[in-house]
Chains A and B, each alone.
Chain A
Amino acid sequence: MMKHSITLTVNGDRYTLAVFPWRTLNEVLREDLNLTGTKRGCGTGDCGACTVMVDGRTVSSCLTLAVDVDGKEILTVEGLAPDGERLHPIQEAFIEKGAIQCGFCTPGMEMSALYLLSNHPRPGEREIRHGLSGNLCRCTGYNKIVEAVAEASRRMEKNNGAPGGGRKP
């Protein structure tokens, strides 16, 4: 069996990697690129802990072969706050609204929230719950997460939807 040479742009950085075909995007991100923000829960598409964006759309990285996304742009939770200091408005809202307990679902939840808000900048509660239906949380009971996404939507609108730097002036 042969390794394949692939190129991924992850959070704006280009990587050329040699990978076996059976390795998932999740494994390559976590093990080869050390981007452990993206979690791995069920491994079968049910929990959403592994959610990342590929070319602007959320996917389950546990069910995505790395070879299958050769040449694509990947955004992970690390890319939400590229300088590692100023948080994305979604992250700020999650903290402020108490939407994080153990935190295991958070990276996936935030990617799903970003995808939702990029398509529906002002979602209602129903839309938020729909948008997060592919993400499970064992801790919060979801209400705080729904509130956080609504809050993030207000902040991002004030901010013209620009990601990053959602601080109040």
Chain B
Amino acid sequence: MTFPKFEYLAPQTLDEAISILEEKGPEVRVMAGGTDLLVKMRQGLLKPRTVVSLKRIQGLDKISFDRKDGLRIGATALLADVASHPSVRSHYPAVAYAASETANVQIRNMGTVAGNLCNAAPSADNAPVLTAMGACVVLAGPRGERCLPLDAFFLGPGLTAMEPSEILTEIRVPFPRRGTGTSYQHLSARGKVDISAVGVGVMLRVEGKTCREAGIILGAVAPTPLRARRTEKLLVGKSLTADLLERAGRSAAAESAPISDVRATASYRRKMVAVLTRRALSEAYERARRNAKKR
């Protein structure tokens, strides 16, 4: 079980990395932490001729925050560093939590949030909350930069809207408006260190008890992270009673489109979507109310 042979390049600038991708064509793969890429190569699912490591590119691991620009997570920022970053923890607790619940200690010291998104597993733990919060990703390519909302980024299992010669350089998450709360709830077979069987990311904005905005993203129950649009509509403009949250859970379950696989059956997943959506909404609501009072 050794790796297939490949050429390794570690450019020091983004421009250099993009030119390599352009020049080498489809047989090249970008690598951040390698915790998805190298596993797939080990299993013979991928056989790139060239691997381009992003880790030597200066500044790409930066995590920055201010109230105007919000949060910016660089492509090589480690899951562990996102999870423990003080500003992420205080202003984006569900983003920090999702990162802290991804994989295990060692993998979080290697893997990145950006890699988790680019790998585009339907179960990616960091996708639901970031999408619910309206995050976008900066993609740099030969023709310059573009910023794409995560809603338009995921196309299918392992498939994204990135061009082959593009590199995701940064994840941008807007600063949450007053009265906003978020939550991530997930389940997996082996405690929580395993790939999630179901994950639900929620963002709510409230005025008093009334819901003004709702973002609900379901993970691992469709070919991509799935926005539960009907459930979001069900909440906006209404008073967030326990009964409404319960109904929202059932509505999200109805919107989900799970399959049965090694991690769980479709019917279990659907039931858990209802439970986790209700829990996520109720945690997000609590946080939203606290947030509305605080500032």
Q: Which residues of A contact B (CB under 8 A)?
A: 1-2, 4, 20-22, 24, 27, 43-45, 48, 51, 57-60, 63-65, 67-68, 112, 115-116, 130-131, 133-134
CA distance A4 to B4 in the complex (A): 17
B193 at the interface (CB under 8 A from A): yes
The interface on chain B, measured as residues whose beta carbon lies within 8 A of the other chain's beta carbons, has a size of: 29
Known contacts A45-B35, A63-B35, A134-B193; decide if A68 and B106 are in contact (CB<8 Å): no
Q: Mark B16-58, 1 if CB is under 8 A from A, else 0.
A: 0000000000000001001100110011000000010101000
Q: Report whether A45 and B51 are in contact in the complex, using a CB–CB cutoff of 8 Å.
A: no
Q: Which residues of B contact A65 (CB under 8 A)?
A: 8, 34, 38, 51, 53
Q: Which residues of A contact B80 (CB under 8 A)?
A: 57
B6 at the interface (CB under 8 A from A): yes
B110 at the interface (CB under 8 A from A): yes
Among the listed A57, A58, A68, which residue makes an inter-chain contact with B34, where contact means beta carbons less than 8 Å apart? A68
- The residue among B43, B51, B109 with the most chain A CB atoms within 10 A of its own CB is B109
Q: Report whether B109 and A59 are in contact in the complex, using a CB–CB cutoff of 8 Å.
A: yes
Among the listed A4, A48, A51, A58, which residue makes an inter-chain contact with B8, where contact means beta carbons less than 8 Å apart? A4
Among the listed B5, B43, B105, which residue makes an inter-chain contact with A20, where contact means beta carbons less than 8 Å apart? B5
Among the listed B3, B42, B109, B191, which residue makes an inter-chain contact with A133, where contact means beta carbons less than 8 Å apart? B191
B262 at the interface (CB under 8 A from A): no
CA distance A144 to B10 in the complex (A): 43
B90 at the interface (CB under 8 A from A): no
If over half of B's interface residues share one DSSP class (helix, strand or loop), that class is named, otherwise mixed; here it is: loop
Q: Which residues of B contact A112 (CB under 8 A)?
A: 105-106
B7 at the interface (CB under 8 A from A): yes
Q: Considering only CB atoms, which chain A residue lies closest to B33 in the complex?
A: A63
Q: Considering only CB atoms, which chain A residue lies closest to B78 in the complex?
A: A57
Q: Which residues of A contact B43 (CB under 8 A)?
A: 44
Min CB distance B241 to A, Å, is 34
Min CB distance B17 to A, Å, is 15
CA distance A115 to B191 in the complex (A): 21
Q: Mark B97-112, 1 if CB is under 8 A from A, else 0.
A: 0000001111101100
CA distance A134 to B34 in the complex (A): 17
Q: Report whether B42 and A67 are in contact in the complex, using a CB–CB cutoff of 8 Å.
A: no
Q: Report whether B39 and A44 are in contact in the complex, using a CB–CB cutoff of 8 Å.
A: yes
Q: Report whether A45 and B10 are in contact in the complex, using a CB–CB cutoff of 8 Å.
A: no
Q: Considering only CB atoms, which chain A residue lies closest to B191 in the complex?
A: A133
Min CB distance B50 to A, Å, is 9
Min CB distance B52 to A, Å, is 11
Known contacts A63-B39, A64-B34; decide if A134 and B105 are in contact (CB<8 Å): yes
